[in-house]
């Protein structure tokens, strides 16, 4: 594996600092310290903490969207692709919990400042909803609404499991609840007739 670049080191340190202290709580100094570089190095790569946070957000969002799109374009049945997207998102959450947490919990602060052309998971899911409505396997209704519902089925349990222990079963530790979430999400968008 190639050694991480200075920029990668800073991004990875920022993610840890944001996870630990929150976006507001983590200073550029904290991030520089954690990355083993300097504030000067940080400013060589990023204009500001906001710029760094936005880069992080875009980076992880793009990674997730690419995986979702890869699944979406395969020639498999629509509902199977949707089911794969549930698994893929839950696995991404487990593999990159800090990143997922950052994107999910900061989404409202930052998302509307992301470039207009940014692709979101809901966009790709919506294309599958439309595809499934054409072939009759997905229920009728506004495709954007149904795509949001589908996403909500996955993200809300993740959000709950990001809360302190005791609040909800912690999805990050095992796949025990994945089947429940996948079946519920598929049922939410499936056409009633089988």
**Footprint of its own copies (CB under 8 A):** 24, 105, 108, 111-112, 122, 139-142, 144-146, 148-149, 151-157, 159-160, 163-164, 168-169, 176-177, 179-181, 183-185, 187-190, 192
Question: What are 163's two structure tokens?
Answer: 């809360």
Least distance CB 59 / its own copies (angstroms): 21
Q: What are phi and psi of 83, to 5 degrees?
A: -65, -40
Least distance CB 184 / its own copies (angstroms): 4
Cβ proximity to its own copies, 14 vs 189, nearer residue: 189
Separation in Å, CA 126 to CA 26, 70, 119:
36, 14, 12
Cβ proximity to its own copies, 115 vs 164, nearer residue: 164
Question: What are 17's two structure tokens?
Answer: 């600092």
H-assigned helices in 73-176: 78-95, 97-110, 121-135, 143-162
Cβ proximity to its own copies, 73 vs 187, nearer residue: 187
Least distance CB 74 / its own copies (angstroms): 24
Contact 130, 81 (CB under 8 A): no
């Amino acid at each position: 594996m190639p050694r991480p670049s200075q920029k990668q080191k800073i991004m990875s340190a920022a993610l840890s600092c944001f996870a630990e202290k929150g976006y507001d709580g983590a200073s550029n100094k904290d991030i520089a310290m954690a990355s083993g570089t300097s504030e000067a190095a940080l400013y060589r790569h990023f204009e500001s903490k906001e710029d760094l946070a936005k880069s992080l957000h875009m980076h992880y969002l793009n990674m997730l969207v690419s995986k979702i799109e890869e699944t979406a374009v395969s020639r498999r049945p629509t509902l199977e692709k949707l089911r794969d997207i549930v698994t893929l998102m839950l696995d991404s959450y487990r593999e990159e919990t800090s990143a997922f947490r950052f994107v999910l919990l900061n989404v409202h602060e930052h998302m509307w400042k992301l470039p207009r052309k940014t692709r979101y998971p809901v966009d790709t899911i919506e294309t599958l909803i439309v595809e499934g409505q054409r072939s009759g396997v997905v229920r009728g209704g506004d495709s954007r609404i149904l795509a949001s519902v589908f996403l909500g089925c996955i993200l809300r349990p993740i959000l709950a499991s990001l809360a302190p222990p005791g609040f909800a079963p912690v999805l990050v530790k095992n796949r025990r609840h994945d089947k429940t979430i996948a079946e519920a999400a598929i049922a939410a968008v499936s056409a009633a007739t089988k």
